[in-house]
Amino acid sequence: MKKQYFGTDGIRGKVGHYPITADFILKLGWAAGNVLADSRNNNHVLIGKDTRISGYMFESALEAGLAAAGVNSQLMGPMPTPAIAYLTRTFRAQCGIVISASHNPYDDNGIKFFCPKGLKLADDIELAIESYLDKPMTTKDSASLGKATRIDDAGARYIEFCKSTIPAFMDFSGVRIVIDCAHGATYHTAPYVFEELGATVSSIGVEPDGLNINHQCGATHLDTLQQKVLEEHADYGIAFDGDGDRVMMVDHKGEIVDGDEILFIIAKSRAAKNHLRQPIVGTLMSNLGLEHALQQSGIDFVRANVGDRYVMELLKQKGGVLGGENSGHVICLDRSSTGDGIIAALQVMVEMHESGKTLHELKNEMNKYPQVLVNVKIEQRFNVAEHAVIQAAKQDIEHELGDDGRVLLRASGTEPLIRVMIEGTESNQVTRLANKLADVVKDASLVHQIAS
């Protein structure tokens, strides 16, 4: 069966537009409660959220829906997505629910679920939840209704967990870091993790007001962090997205260190210590430079479809422990059950500490190919793989690039976008071809919209 609501990362959309409405989320909580309820009376779930203003509304709606299904809620307030995954395991909860739209602007929101092991829900469970959404909502008798409580020490628990993922003796005293929390869910955890490990931390993006999450800050907007690192003569900067599952870094020269480079640094460090279970899993968007650098280090590399869900599936299938995306999703299964920005940054810091190399030196051990990504906004979804004009243009570009480049066209799983990616050896050529193909996609989208 095809899923109607769940995408690659839960259910996501514009607040107030179906299905991201209070009444739908109420019923979603009820549906999830019915599917996840445990006959052994272990009927409790965790609910966390990021800092966007609509989180209050959806937290209440989920709580009410779960209560109607007889399931207890434990509310944690603003917490990073990977913290919910971790705490779901430690609290032995039936599931963890995150109210977040990750790196999207404040007027988007979404719901994603973790199973008791801290992993994304299996497809059959998501389909079972969707089947309940087609049924009339009912309410348990009063004696069987669920209750809601708050967990006050969730942040402290997660901070200690993050610190436990690096050697206990390691001390980052003397290291100057700038941290950008995107006015998101890491604002009250990330700075403390690094400070308690001895680093001198300057924090930005730590004043959420419900509307400023991801706004010109965080992992998707690095200009402010780059400037701050240079102004403060910091050793490096670390940026998270709104829910803390992405991380990007900036070296002491103000140069960006993306998810591919972070993954390479961690993989090479693990391999040098014989602590690596191969292969490394990237995605169709991973830079060719990552693939070549890993191969030169004797490390196998495979590509999954775009999305941390697919990276995770291939890791489990291949028996690997490290994977990620150039956008900053980095999964260290030998440390956590899901992608975690704080934990990934800590692993890079360990390699800097042990090798004595700067972040700039470590990232330059991987030679990136010029890669240009153009997002084409569309009004109506259509299949680019079946569009003759687009495919003809794609083939012409592939012929021009030859064996030294790649062309990728894909629809975003979370936004109304077609992503056009061109990779090659010459920067000017790559930029020209990416814009050329993006124009073709844009024109085709308009024709499709008129025809529909």
CB 44 within 8 Å of CB 73:
yes
Predicted pLDDT at 40: 53
| DSSP per-residue letters across 77-107 | EE--HHHHHHHHHHTT-SEEEEE--TTS-TT
pLDDT above 60 for 349: yes
Predicted pLDDT at 42: 67
Catalytic residue among 54, 73, 100, 102: 102
Please give the average per-residue pLDDT across 339-352, as a whole number: 98
Q: So where are the chain's domains?
A: 11-152, 169-255, 258-368, 371-451
Q: Could you give the CA distance from residue 102 to residue 244 in angstroms, rounded to a whole number? A: 8
CB 24 within 8 Å of CB 6:
no
- Looking at 3.40.50.2300, 3.30.310.50, 3.30.360.10, 3.40.50.970, the CATH number of the domain 371-451 comes to 3.30.310.50
State yes or no: is 102 an active-site residue.
Answer: yes
pLDDT above 70 for 322: yes
Give residue-wise pLDDT tens across range 170-194: 999 999 999 999 999 999 999 999 9
Q: How confident is the model at residue 446 (pLDDT cuts 50, 70, 90)?
A: confident
Return the beta strands (E) in 108-156 as ranges: 108-114, 148-150
Q: Could you give the CA distance from residue 220 to residue 271 in angstroms, rounded to a whole number? A: 29
CATH architecture entry for 11-152: 3-Layer(aba) Sandwich (3.40)
Task: Give the CATH fold of the 169-255 domain.
Answer: Alpha-D-Glucose-1,6-Bisphosphate; Chain A, domain 3 (3.40.120)
Mean pLDDT for the chain overall: 94
Among the ranges given (56-65, 164-173, 373-382), the one the predictor scored with the smallest mean pLDDT: 373-382
CA–CA distances in Å: residue 209 to residues 13, 49, 55, 154, 344? 20, 14, 12, 21, 27
| Phi and psi angles of residue 191, each rounded to the nearest 5 degrees, phi first | -60, -35
- CB atoms near residue 348 (< 10 Å): 24
Let me know how long the chain is: 452
Please give the average per-residue pLDDT across 186-205, as a whole number: 98
pLDDT above 60 for 392: yes
- CB atoms near residue 136 (< 10 Å): 5
Q: Could you give the CA distance from residue 30 to residue 234 in angstroms, rounded to a whole number? A: 49
pLDDT above 70 for 73: yes
pLDDT above 90 for 75: yes
Q: Do 169-255 and 258-368 fold alike per CATH?
A: yes
CA–CA distances in Å: residue 437 to residues 106, 267, 287, 415? 31, 34, 19, 20
Q: How do 280-283 and 301-304 pair as beta strands? A: parallel
pLDDT above 70 for 39: no
pLDDT above 90 for 157: yes
| DSSP per-residue letters across 330-362 | EEETTT-SS--HHHHHHHHHHHHHHH---HHHH
Among the ranges given (34-43, 179-188, 279-288, 428-437), the one the predictor scored with the smallest mean pLDDT: 34-43
Among the ranges given (147-151, 300-304, 383-387), the one the predictor scored with the smallest mean pLDDT: 383-387
Which homologous superfamily is 258-368 in? Alpha-D-Glucose-1,6-Bisphosphate, subunit A, domain 3 (3.40.120.10)
**Of 113 and 445, the one with more pLDDT:** 113
Predicted pLDDT at 43: 81
Structure tokens that stand for 64 in this block: 């009410």
